[in-house]
Amino acid sequence: MMPERFALGVQYDGRPWQGWQSQPGGQTVQDVLEGALGQFTGAPVRVTAAGRTDAGVHALGQVVHFDSAAQRPAHAWVRGLNSLLPGTIAVHWASPVPDEFHARFSAEARTYQYVLYVSPLRSPHLQGHTGWFYRPLDLKAMQRAADAILGEHDFSALRSAQCQAKSPIKTLHTVTIEAVGDFVLFTLRADAFLHHMVRNLVGCLIAVGRGQYAPEWVRAVVDGRDRAKAAPTFMAAGLYLARVEYPSRFTLPAPAALGTVFPGL
């Protein structure tokens, strides 16, 4: 029987894993998911993801595709794979897709959310699930800084040295920064992101929010294209791959909302 293409919506808690991408040690989300697919189908399966998340980064709306000759209804893929996956990884939905679908290259936009806990004392209960900053931040100044870099730019100043993207030019569609109780929620949507781009930008915005720099500094950093002039990469713990958007013709289900992890957000 000829293989068919399937897409999966995958959620994971990034704390136990060395990121998404397969590594020789096997302690990655891709390695574990491919192992479960191999058990479920009885044949080796390779998956392609919409984006590669780092160690400690979480996902609510990761999307992958794979080809398999196994014939299963959508609910069977979900239940069967979840029975084989550890508690920190779960398949949220499964859907057959046409051969033209590609989890990475068919994506039109990606949304990341960063959850920052703002309190004089860190919380052990939030360890690994949120970032933390110890004093209040000026959110209006942070939003002005973010608004100044919307649109298409060369984001080399926010790019890691290990980034494998062919071009540093990306289009940042929206950045919103809002206070929700003791949390600050950053929501960033772009056509695509460079390696560490979100965490580097969050670090820059926090530097503005704490009064270290004026809002105009972030635009100057981006225009300067010098990574050494930007803030340090902020901690991975609060970062979530929230949503990947595709053309409507693929009719993929919606991802889980951040409120399933943090009620009220």
pLDDT tens per residue across span 62-90:
999 999 999 888 899 999 999 999 999 99
CB 118 within 8 A of CB 126: no
Q: What is the mean pLDDT of residues 134-150?
A: 98
Is residue 145 over pLDDT 80?
Answer: yes
pLDDT-derived band at 21 (thresholds 50, 70, 90) equals very high
Verify whether residue 182 is a known catalytic residue. Answer: no
Q: One fold for both 4-106 and 109-241?
A: yes
CATH architecture of 109-241: 2-Layer Sandwich (3.30)
Q: What is the mean pLDDT of residues 181-192?
A: 97
Query: Which tokens go with 146?
Result: 């973010």
Q: Which fold has domain 4-106?
A: Alpha-Beta Plaits (3.30.70)
Is residue 264 over pLDDT 80?
Answer: no
What pLDDT, in 10s, does the model give residues 34-43? 999 999 999 9
Q: Within 13 Å and on the Cβ side, how many CA atoms surround 4?
A: 15
**Max CA pair span of the chain:** 63
Q: How far apart are CA 21 and CA 27, in angstroms?
A: 9
Closest to 239 (Cα-Cα) out of 15, 10, 28: 15
Q: What is the mean pLDDT of residues 168-174?
A: 97
Alpha carbon of 99 to those of 23, 66, 68, 102, 116: distances in Å?
A: 27, 10, 12, 8, 39
pLDDT-derived band at 2 (thresholds 50, 70, 90) equals confident
pLDDT-derived band at 24 (thresholds 50, 70, 90) equals confident
Residue 124 — φ and ψ, nearest 5°?
Answer: -65, -25
Domain ranges, ordered by start, for the chain: 4-106, 109-241
**Exposed, middle or buried, 4 (CB in 10 Å: 0-12/13-18/19+)?**
middle
Query: Which one is catalytic: 13, 54, 99, 138?
Result: 54
Q: How many CB atoms lie within 10 A of CB 123?
A: 12
